[in-house]
Amino acid sequence: YAHFLFSFLFLFFCICMWGVCPFRRRGGAAETRKRLQDAQTRLLLLKDGSDRLGCQLRLHRPDTLQECGFNASQPLVMIIHGWSVDGFLENWIWKMVAALKSRQAQPVNVGLVDWISLAYHHYAVAVRNTRIVGQEVATLLLWLEESMQFSPSKVHLVGYSLGAHVSGFAGSSMGSKHKIGRITGLDPAGPMFEGTSPSDRLSPDDAIFVDAIHTFTREHMGLSVGIKQPIAHYDFYPNGGSFQPGCHFLELYKHIAEHGLNAITQTIKCAHERSVHLFIDSLQHKDLQSTGYQCSDMDRFSQGLCLSCKKGHCNTLGYNIRREHSGKNRRLFLITRAQAPFRVYHYQFKIQFINQIEKPVEPTFTMSLLGTKEEMKIPITLGEGITSNKTYSFLITLDKDIGELIVIKFKWEKSAVWPNIWNTVQTIIPWGVVPHYSGLVLKTIRVKAGETQQRMTFCPESTDDLQLHPTQEKVFVKCEVNESETHAKN
Ligand SMILES: *[C@@H]1O[C@H](CO)[C@@H](O)[C@H](O)[C@H]1NC(C)=O
Ligand SMILES: *[C@@H]1O[C@H](CO)[C@@H](O)[C@H](O)[C@H]1NC(C)=O
Ligand SMILES: *[C@@H]1O[C@H](CO)[C@@H](O)[C@H](O)[C@H]1NC(C)=O
């Protein structure tokens, strides 16, 4: 049902994209006329997050540079917004400006490409305009280079949605001798760009370094708001990229109840705009940077198989990314929280069971992780029955930093299938004897921490009784295990 409603909302969104938009705010006729008159791109320089007007830079007018306080010895970060359904600049822009300006240790010029009058159109028209706006941005940057020797390599374009492709067109209009330093695409728009040739969208050729954050690639009726394909040197797919935690229907419903129907566009945008908030978060929480790990798909990532940082296989999400690349594209995955600070701690757990009875066991376990800073409890259910001697690998994420892991307490919760096993046990053990034999042994728990890249092995604290028993807690402590075993694949 939730899915149905979501599709319905999405349909509204699509109607907005292609035609009459039921959510368009009706501006006065005078306002509309004015907007049409200055249907153009405005390149603004902003002092801080409260500077809503900005100071307009004008081509071939060096005096405007001075007037606007452009400092040529600092880099230039230019924010480029996306398609507009209501003709107004979105609030995240000011949040991002404030976050960029708050970094006093690394001061930057912050610019805004205001192309709202060209973006406030039917989607297809706005798409056509991205190329024009990109060329205008390139013209400005080339002029800055020519008149002030301000190298384009000191420029970082941050484009959201359609703005990501505007950045791409800006980059490709510069010419190969004047490459822009960096382009960040925040959930680059998908419709009319997915599957097109690199010259018709943002691509790794458009800047010296290109990164992208994909947050809303879930497909509805053959369309996804954010582009699915990798289009950068580093493409991050937080939570798999298709949808984001905290944007689910129930939460959306609450949002609509609180904010009325206008909240619909906001709620549809939730996952799309998450890319922006992840980027802002990376500016605001310097000590809580999120790491993404290279992986072929989310399935493998969920098994915890991709937490390696060897050979550039991981990188930092957002502003502070390591700007190095081998030329080839990397797809990076990570889990995030539903709100800022978004960072979580990733662990791979490998649990090796020995099942000495023939019947499959489907137990539910609880693990308590005791770290140097904190203890946390996590329930785990193994999707399939434990039939024979098998090692299970899975990803566990923690919201909090527990410090270095020291002890794992492993508890077999009572489960519905237990009576079956009980029968088996009773046939094995003579009646009346306290059953010490459950047939299930946990030999070792191997842990790899993504954030610290530390590998650890845990063994049972007591070797008296290695059998796992329902409702009983077994304590595992750090132990040494032969290297050859530890380095078994993944
Ligand atoms: C320009 O930026 C540099 C480097 O951040 C700084 O040292 C200098 O004071 C700035 N100049 C002005 C006029 O603010
Ligand atoms: C599992 O391992 C145990 C001990 O190493 C062995 O006795 C048992 O036969 C194995 N079971 C299977 C199905 O391989
Ligand atoms: C490690 O290997 C050595 C020799 O192969 C063996 O004697 C020792 O018991 C092994 N240790 C563990 C914990 O398996």
Ligand 1 centroid distance, CA of 58 (Å)? 22
pLDDT for the residue 169: 98
pLDDT, one tens digit per residue, over 311-330 is 889 999 999 999 988 888 99
**Token pair recorded at residue 208:** 């010296």
Q: Pairing mode, if any, of strands 155-160 and 76-80? A: parallel
Q: How far apart are CA 393 and CA 348, in angstroms?
A: 7
Same domain as 125, residue 174: yes
Contact present, 457 and 481 (Cβ < 8 Å): yes
The last residue of one of the domains, among 334, 353, 385, is 334
pLDDT for the residue 27: 46
Poorest-pLDDT segment among 19-33, 141-155, 164-178, 465-479? 19-33
- Nearest C-alpha neighbor of 21 from the set 110, 103, 83: 83
Q: Is the CB of 481 under 6 A from ligand 3?
A: yes
Residues 6 or more apart whose CB falls under 8 angstroms from that of 321 comprise 211, 234, 315
Catalytic residues: 161, 187, 272
Tokens 């550039």, residue? 312
Same domain as 170, residue 272: yes
In a domain, residue 402? The reply is yes
The last residue of one of the domains, among 308, 334, 360, is 334
Tokens 């004047």, residue? 178
pLDDT, one tens digit per residue, over 388-413 is 677 889 999 999 999 999 999 988 87
- Nearest C-alpha neighbor of 392 from the set 346, 364, 353, 438: 353
Ligand 2 centroid distance, CA of 255 (Å)? 54
Strand order in the sheet with 55-56: 55-56, 42-46, 109-114, 76-80, 155-160, 180-186, 207-213, 234-238, 330-334, 291-294, 314-316
Q: Is the CB of 73 under 6 A from ligand 1?
A: yes
Average pLDDT, stretch 18-22?
46
Nearest atom (ligand 2) to Cα of 355: 1
Helix, coil or strand: residue 454: coil
Asked if residue 128 belongs to a known ligand binding site, the reply is no
* Host H or E run for residue 254: helix 249-259
- Asked if the bond preceding 470 is cis, omega within 30° of 0, the reply is no
Q: What pTM was estimated for this model as a whole?
A: 0.86
pLDDT, one tens digit per residue, over 180-203 is 999 999 999 999 999 999 999 999
pLDDT for the residue 176: 87
Same domain as 74, residue 202: yes
Q: Is the CB of 354 under 6 A from ligand 2?
A: yes
* Strands in 7-82 per DSSP E: 42-46, 55-56, 76-80
Asked if residue 206 belongs to a known ligand binding site, the reply is yes
Nearest atom (ligand 2) to Cα of 387: 13
User: Which amino acid belongs to residue 149?
Assistant: Q
In a domain, residue 155? The reply is yes
CATH code of the domain covering residue 115: 3.40.50.1820
CA–CA distances in Å: residue 140 to residues 32, 135, 137, 156: 27, 9, 5, 14
Q: Is the CB of 389 under 6 A from ligand 2?
A: yes
Ligand 3 centroid distance, CA of 482 (Å)? 6
Q: How far apart are CA 188 and CA 229, in angstroms?
A: 10
Q: Which residue range(s) make up the domain with 385?
A: 345-486
Cα dihedral across residues 267, 346, 164, 52: positive or negative? positive
DSSP percent split of the chain into helix, strand, coil, nearest 5: 30, 25, 45
Q: Is the CB of 74 under 6 A from ligand 1?
A: yes
Instruction: List the Cα angle 103/107/111 in 5-degree steps.
Output: 100
Q: Does the pLDDT at position 251 exceed 80? A: no
Q: Does the pLDDT at position 488 exceed 80? A: no
Higher pLDDT, 101 or 379: 101
Q: Whose CA is nearest to atom 7 of ligand 2?
A: 356
Contact present, 441 and 476 (Cβ < 8 Å): no
Same domain as 89, residue 19: yes
How many domains, in total, are found in the chain? 2
Mean pLDDT of the chain: 85
In a domain, residue 147? The reply is yes
Question: Which pLDDT band holds residue 26 (cuts at 50, 70, 90)?
Answer: very low
Ligand 2 centroid distance, CA of 139 (Å)? 71
First CA to last CA distance, the chain: 40
Same domain as 380, residue 292: no
In a domain, residue 339? The reply is no
Q: Is the CB of 425 under 6 A from ligand 3?
A: no
Ligand 2 centroid distance, CA of 412 (Å)? 21
Q: Is the CB of 484 under 6 A from ligand 3?
A: no
Q: Does the pLDDT at position 419 exceed 80? A: no
Q: How far apart are CA 181 and CA 298, in angstroms?
A: 30
Site to substitute for ligand 3 among 482, 485, 487, most atoms within 8 A of C-beta: 482
Instruction: List the Cα angle 444/450/454 in 5-degree steps.
Output: 55
Nearest atom (ligand 1) to Cα of 72: 1
Contact present, 110 and 145 (Cβ < 8 Å): no
